[in-house]
Amino acid sequence: MKDVAYYNGKIAPIAEMMVPMNDRACYFGDGVYDATCAVNHVPMALDDHIDRIYRSAKLIDIDIPMSKEEMKRMLLDLVSRVEGDVLFVYWQVTRGVGMRGHAYSNAGDKPSIWAFVRPNKMRDPYGAYRCITLEDKRFFYCNIKTINLLPAVMANQRAEEAGCDEAIFHRGDRVTECSHSNVHIIKNGVLKTAPCDELILPGITRAHILAICKAQGIPVVEEPFTVKEMMEADEIFFSSSSALTCRIRNIDGQDVGGKDEKTFAAIRDAYQRELEAECGRH
Ligand code: PLP
């Protein structure tokens, strides 16, 4: 198949899948999601992503009506149906189908499970990426991977209109993360990344990067950093399961970073090796 969608057990090409209007995803964005890339039909870090969607669901009182093993089997089955060596694997759990009403005590029988798999392209790991900065106008549930993404959608649109690849959010001076990735800086050989609080999503790639730094003896500081610190950092990069690690060389039209390729390359190459070890070369 060219792509595939899943909704509560139904499977069809994405364009043919119909879902009930009363699914609370439609009215409230009332649900959580996760996503990863698959290379050679092997989804990267799938167990980590499945663990995270269960954590996200629990934080908004959704009891996923499927075991982790069943979810894994369902996703692997979908991935096996789609042609292509690099795929995007997306799935979400919403509170289910029920008459519109904000509170969810009577929100319908059971949560809905949605998924799709489609071909994707890897970003160039050796590229030089451009970003804009924007005030972070999101709420305080950024640690939950909710499908409520309007501020991220608006920010990504602004970045695209500016000819850029990502929007970096800050709350006042403090850099939080990007519209759909985490952002990290390297200064004097030390990797600095925002702590996992309610202002950022605990990225799976971020966690792998921290493990790589530990293994390679690169010191890590999980502390907030400012926009000024970022602009003056030796290297700046964003990370996500589909973008992997992307070196940022321009922010708001100003050239930045590019002063410690060695440390950045050590992290990037180790992550590429992990991907190859898990999924094979593409
Ligand atoms: N932060 C946000 C807001 C995201 O949407 C994402 C990914 O979608 C990330 C960070 C990176 O997370 P991961 O590395 O798990 O893909």
For the cut 80, the answer to whether the pLDDT of residue 188 exceeds it is yes
Query: What does the mean pLDDT of the chain come to?
Result: 97
Work out the angle between the directed axes of helices 46-59 and 204-216 (0-180°, nearest 10).
130
Alpha helices (runs of H) in the chain, residue ranges in sequence order: 24-28, 46-59, 68-81, 150-161, 204-216, 227-231, 261-279
Beta strand 129-135 pairing with 244-251: parallel
Reduce the DSSP state of residue 147 to 3 states and report it. coil
Per residue in 130-156, pLDDT tens? 999 999 999 999 999 999 999 999 999
Whether 121 is catalytic: no
Residue 198's pLDDT is 97
Q: For residue 109, what pLDDT is reported?
A: 74
- Asked whether the whole model's pTM tops 0.95, one would answer yes
Residue type, 97: V
The one catalytic residue among 191, 201, 244, 275:
201
Residue 99: alpha-carbon gap to chain centroid = 31
* pLDDT 10s digits, 151-176: 999 999 999 999 999 999 999 999 99
222 CA distance to ligand 1 middle (Å): 17
Decide: helix, strand or coil at residue 273. helix
The pLDDT of residue 106 is 78
Q: What are the pocket residues of ligand 1 if the criterion is a CB atom closer than 6 Å to any ligand atom? A: 177, 180-182, 201, 203-206, 239-241
- 145, 192, 210, 244: the catalytic one is 145
Angle (CA) 119 122 123, round 5°:
140
* pLDDT beyond 80 at 242: yes
Q: Is position 177 annotated as part of the catalytic site?
A: yes
Confidence of residue 217 (pLDDT cuts 50, 70, 90): very high
**Residue 81 clears pLDDT 90, i.e. is over it:** yes
Share of the chain above pLDDT 70, in %: 100
Based on the residue annotation, tell me whether 232 is a catalytic residue of this protein.
Answer: no
The yes-or-no verdict on residue 100 having pLDDT over 80 is: yes
Taking CA atoms only, the protein residue closest to ligand 1 atom 5 is 180
Q: Which residue has the higher pLDDT, 5 or 280?
A: 5
CA distance 37 to 118: 10
**What pLDDT, on the 0 to 100 scale, is given for residue 282?**
72
Output the CA 109–ligand 1 centroid distance in Å.
30
